[in-house]
Amino acid sequence: MKATDLRSGNLIKFKGVDEIQVVSCLNYRTDEIGTFDRPLGKSSLYESIPMTEEWLLKLGFEAKQENGFDFVLNISAAKLYARANSGAWFFQFNETYLGQLFTGVHHIQNFCASLGKELEVKL
């Protein structure tokens, strides 16, 4: 994961530690990430939070069978669908199949933010 993959407010982990960190500052030029608990440091010190059923629910998805998917997130007049298959997560946005586009929590946060929806994470 690189600093350019993130934005302020993304949830990530310090490598080897299960403690969730919130990105507070980024330096794209030097590829450094800072969080509210840690000063700026190389992006190689951090890792993405893997996508799980638990995290989908924390991000506001509803466990609901619809369109062949197991989870649904309403985004204004649109819907983001998710389902697991053989350990991988697959996504669809309205009628557009996205495949395995999102592997980490920050990917979903960034996608929804690009649509004007900031996700409220239920920790």
Mean pLDDT value of segment 63-68: 92
79 pLDDT band (50/70/90 cuts)? very high
Cα–Cα dist 110/117, whole Å: 9
Joined tokens for residue 8: 């302020």
Cα–Cα dist 8/23, whole Å: 5
Cα–Cα dist 89/103, whole Å: 7
The structural domains of the chain, with segments of one domain joined by +, span 3-47, 53-114
pLDDT at 18: 87
